[in-house]
Amino acid sequence: MNEAIERVKVLIIGSGPAGYTAAIYAARAGMSPVLYTGGQPGGQLTITTDVENYPGYPDGIMGPEMMEDFRKQAERFGTQVRYGMVTAVDFSAQPHVITVDDQKTIHADTVIISTGASAKWLGLESETRLNGKGVSACAVCDGFFFRGQEVAIVGAGDTACEEAAYLANICSKVYMIVRRDEMRASQIMQKRVMNNPKIEILWNTETDEILGEDEVKGVRILNNKTGEKREISISGFFVAIGHQPNTAIFKDFIHMDQSGYIKTIPGSTRTNIEGVFACGDAQDNVYRQAVTAAGTGCMAALDAERFLAEQENH
């Protein structure tokens, strides 16, 4: 006998700050949300240590602990938090059809996409080993830990330039490691880093190895024109070579930009599909912070609630 297909009012995909905040609001509004955690329950903050910039924690908090608090708060109001990965969606008709772990089918009146984004990494063993111990993909999050110290940043796009300038405000010196003899960044951003006396651009340079046992002590760089290798001492190593939004499963239905960030209707979390909302890093290539993800998570739940109310009134 076929198992009856489950019907839910609000299905939330992802368990980072955006998803859990959407769940808190949706649950308190009586919408009985079901949330699927995906492969990284708690999201990106579970791979970091201290979070010092989330309001409400004056002494800072460890990332995994903070995300436990988010989960408990969402569950307290009745969110069903389930372990599982959404593997396919069909947004071609109402209700929307969601497949979990290639097995279970759910029909949802509204869907909130909060699948986040993943930083791109160089792929070095030392980068993985020292991640969170001086290696970071977020200058705004972790720059403060290196105030007054020397750091390096890899990348040549607008984000890398912006993060280099941000670090230069806090750190004593910033080495910017650029693979070619030119940058991808816009002229205005290039000027900003080139005119900054605290930033030294290392052209035609690649990262050979990040140095240090338990924390970053330096970096060995390779000049890809001359073949010369040298070591510089730094205490922070930032990777700014881009992010990959986790949105591939939605691409047949949802409008996205070239990089895969979901396009939302300005001033809202609405997507091009009625009843499907997007929040957090999956639709934000600018701010990428826990507090902004939580803010848009709140917006998504309110947008879903209004959508459902409008449907009922028709």
Ligand X SMILES: Cc1cc2nc3c(=O)[nH]c(=O)nc-3n(C[C@H](O)[C@H](O)[C@H](O)COP(=O)(O)OP(=O)(O)OC[C@H]3O[C@@H](n4cnc5c(N)ncnc54)[C@H](O)[C@@H]3O)c2cc1C
Q: Could you report how far apart the first and last alpha carbons of the chain are, in Å?
A: 35
Residue 203 CB, nearest approach to ligand X (Å): 28
Closest CB to ligand X among 202 and 279? 279
Write out the binding residues for ligand X, residues 281-310 only, by CB under 6 A.
281-282, 288-291, 293
Q: Binding to ligand X (CB under 6 A): which residues in 218-257?
A: 246, 249
Contact status: 22 vs ligand X (CB under 6 A): no
**Nearest distance from residue 224's CB to ligand X, in Å?**
28
Q: Is 138 a catalytic residue?
A: yes
Distance CA 31, CA 219 (A): 51
Annotated active-site residue 50? The verdict is: no
Instruction: Kindly tell me which of 225 and 287 has the beta carbon lying closer to ligand X.
Output: 287
Q: Return d(Cα 73, Cα 20) in angstroms, integer.
A: 8
Catalytically annotated residue among 50, 59, 101, 138 = 138
Smallest distance, ligand X to C-beta of residue 118, A:
7
Q: Enumerate long-range contacts of 205-212, CB under 8 Å, 24 or more apart.
A: 205/177, 205/178, 205/179, 206/177, 206/179, 207/122, 207/124, 207/154, 207/177, 209/124, 209/126, 210/124, 210/126, 210/127, 210/130, 210/134, 210/135, 210/237, 211/126, 212/126, 212/130, 212/133, 212/134
Point out the catalytic residue in the list 142, 281, 284, 303.
142
The length of the chain in residues reads 314
Binding ligand X (rule: CB under 6 A), the pick from 38, 143, 155, 218 is 38
CB of 129 to ligand X, least distance (A): 14
Q: Does 269 bind ligand X (CB under 6 A)?
A: no
Within 7-124, residue ranges assigned H as helices are 17-28, 63-76
Contacts of 116 (CB under 8 A, 6+ apart): 14, 16, 18, 40, 43, 44, 245, 246, 280, 281, 282, 293
Q: Which stretch binds ligand X (CB under 6 A): 88-96, 110-118, 179-187, 227-235?
A: 110-118
- What is the smallest separation between the CB atom of 226 and ligand X, expressed in angstroms? 34
Catalytic annotation present for 69: no
Known catalytic residues? Answer: 138, 141-142
Query: Which residues of the chain form contacts with ligand X (CB under 6 A)?
Result: 13-19, 36-41, 43-45, 47-48, 51, 53-54, 85-86, 114-117, 119, 136-138, 141, 246, 249, 280-282, 288-291, 293
